[in-house]
Amino acid sequence: MNSKKVIFQVHRISKVNKEEVLSKAENDLAAVVNQYIGKLVKELQGTDFWKLRRAYTFGVQEYVEAATLCRFCKTGTLLSLAEINASLLALSDKSVEPLQINVLDYLLGVADLSGELMRLAIGRISDGEVEYAKKICAFVRDIYRELTLVVPLMDDNSEMKKKMEVMLQSVVKIENACFSVHVRGSEYIPLLGSSADPDYSFFGASHFDQ
């Protein structure tokens, strides 16, 4: 899927282009839904799609990650599983059982969201938006805290346990960055680098074409 394209686009956000960047990201996300999610729905509706989860789980997790990132950047809230599944109903044939994303795939996608929000927070601090980074920090911390209560109750939680370890690292990195700015002030911001020319090496790509 091209969900990573949506994530790349969101990371171009700055103080002066937020609306423009989010508009393009939402258009890219809509293209993912129409071209890829829609195709998946048509292929799997009416089947025992739960049994085929392993074949499409990573693409779904990536879509959840991109969709929740867009929602947070736009409203500061978390896109719910119910909202995502409601959107899939419009793509389904009403005469057969519709494809629905399960709780595990949703939570795995949300766990991945924390890494993108960590990178976004560091970028916003570099751009002088410290308060926005603090908002991201509180949001990621709340998600992590809620998941620590849910994950132990899950029957199949081996994947989530691994993601939770990475998620905790993201929480700590955001907290450390926000704390350092609070203590050391603006002198710390240049150490984080400039967001004027985004680095996409953490995605495994040296550049990204718009």
Whether the per-residue pLDDT at 92 is higher than 80: the answer is no
- Look at 81 and 190; give whichever has higher pLDDT: 81
| pLDDT averaged over every residue in the chain | 84
Spell out the domains of the chain, with CATH numbers in brackets.
Answer: 1-101 (1.20.58.190), 102-187 (1.20.58.200)
pLDDT at 201: 40
Angle (CA) 80 85 87, round 5°: 100
Distance CA 132, CA 128 (A): 9
Distance CA 205, CA 179 (A): 30
47-88 pLDDT, tens digit per residue, is 777 777 888 889 999 999 999 999 999 999 999 999 999 988
Distance CA 207, CA 204 (A): 9
The radius of gyration computed from the CA coordinates of the chain, to the nearest angstrom, equals 18
Locate 154 and state its tokens. 């899950």
Instruction: Provide CB contacts within 8 A for 61, sequence distance 6+.
Output: 105, 108, 109, 112
pLDDT at 67: 96
